[in-house]
Structure 1
């Protein structure tokens, strides 16, 4: 087994940024590729995963900055605006369930971060995508992000909890339930990306806080390279991948997941 080097940093950063914005689980792919590269799965690798994911989140914030500003303004002027416009309360309701469950079961979640549970997560996420594509309403009831009610926010937030299982995919679980709830696909995609920001930020900052004593600042250059690669690639592909998700059947992602499971099973020790 080896530790992180420049080659592995480049590969893992590319893998993470290319899979973060598709419903196929970036965390699963990073773990799988770290095993292919024969990298030690320790706290240093987990810190690296956090850093490169923060690069992707920064890209999301930049791409969606206008929508984020609108949400903030809608909250500040909540009494003056129509209360049906999206605001921070919608985001909070959508993120509280996963933060609550994540804090309670923190150590159990860390313990299941392995290949076996990734297989379970890939299968579960694939089934969600398949079911949502087959059974989604033919006519969408909600075609505007401002019309997503608080109760739907909570339901979507509960499905974010499934992403605590490695391999499920936060985007996959929230997009699947959004479609089943009758939310137009393009609206659901934007909403799912927006609500991912506070969840991923809070989860990663918590991890950094809990592990700051073991952060090796001698690896600052490696961490910065990973962050920079992830940020730049993410910045250029987000809109392209949103277009892909919006225009192809989710069944293809489900098929890909099954294919990935078969590859893992054929190569598992």
Structure 2
């Protein structure tokens, strides 16, 4: 991976991390199109820049994240992250294998798109309009929704958790914000685990050149994500999910067609 490829992937990550379209799926697909080798550094890069994108949430909502008097806020996040940590640990190898199969990701984009077209009609009467109203039980339920994205790359972590929030009677804005908050401990844990694995098994990957690429990728992902969060909150509040559903369906169909016509079987 060179600096240009890193910048392009970071932009893709920053734009898609908080949109319900699967940032992981987009990075895997575009990595494939750009001919980026799926080596240990690429896998590390794709996870670490997700954390950089997630940290933009902390920058925007810093008053909430650093209000240590609100212990309940931290408790909810810790409860909600438990299912993903547990399921992610159990299915780590399965997940890594699926992330290398763009066809699976394309199918999940397609299926998720169909869900997003109808989701606003499924949950029309929200009752919770503030994070303080979310109970620990509801936080845990939303955490289980997040595991769908852990097990099936291409599902979209943000889509799964926002839909989980809406199913628990959160309005779109509150569900989206809690999804953003939950991303922080989730991606922090994933990043620490990935860096530890690399440090333990392949420390040579963390050389000067690769660290430079990581630094540039992180900065770009953070800045682009900062802008995309504000856009998504405003857009979802006014318009809902349909446009993202249509986008996912179109992209899924196009990608499946490309892989079908390029495959040896189709030929």
- TM-score calculated relative to the size of structure 2: 0.90
Q: Does 1:100 align with 2:86?
A: yes
Give the whole-Å Cα distance in 2 for the aligned partners of 1:182 and 1:97: 20
Q: Does 1:239 align with 2:236?
A: no
Which residue in 2 is equivalent to 1:41?
38
1:115 pairs, out of 83, 102, 106, with 102
Q: Does 1:17 align with 2:14?
A: yes
**Gaps (5+ residues) in structure 2?**
263-267
2:182 pairs, out of 175, 179, 195, with 195
Quick one: structure 1 residues 96 and 128, their matched pair in 2 at CA, closer, same or farther if it must change by over 3 Å? farther
Which residue in 2 is equivalent to 1:153?
139
Q: Does 1:262 align with 2:253?
A: yes
SS class of match (1:87):
helix
Which residue in 1 is equivalent to 2:265?
none
Give the whole-Å Cα distance in 2 for the aligned partners of 1:175 and 1:51: 23
2:69 pairs, out of 58, 70, 73, with 73
1:32 pairs, out of 6, 21, 29, with 29
Which residue in 1 is equivalent to 2:241?
250
Give the whole-Å Cα distance in 1 for the aligned partners of 2:80 and 2:114: 22
Is this contact kept in 2: 1:21–1:242, CA < 8 A? no
**Gaps (5+ residues) in structure 1?**
76-85
2:170 pairs, out of 168, 183, 186, with 183
Is this contact kept in 1: 2:51–2:184, CA < 8 A? no
Q: Does 1:221 align with 2:212?
A: yes
Deviation at 1:129, TM superposition (A): 2.2
Deviation at 1:123, TM superposition (A): 3.0
- Let me know the Cα RMSD of the aligned residues: 1.5
Give the whole-Å Cα distance in 1 for the aligned partners of 2:119 and 2:154: 18
Give the whole-Å Cα distance in 1 for the aligned partners of 2:165 and 2:24: 22
SS class of match (1:73):
coil
Give the whole-Å Cα distance in 1 for the aligned partners of 2:239 and 2:43: 33
Deviation at 1:236, TM superposition (A): 3.0
- TM-score calculated relative to the size of structure 1: 0.89
Aligned length: 254
SS class of match (1:176):
helix
Which residue in 1 is equivalent to 2:195?
208
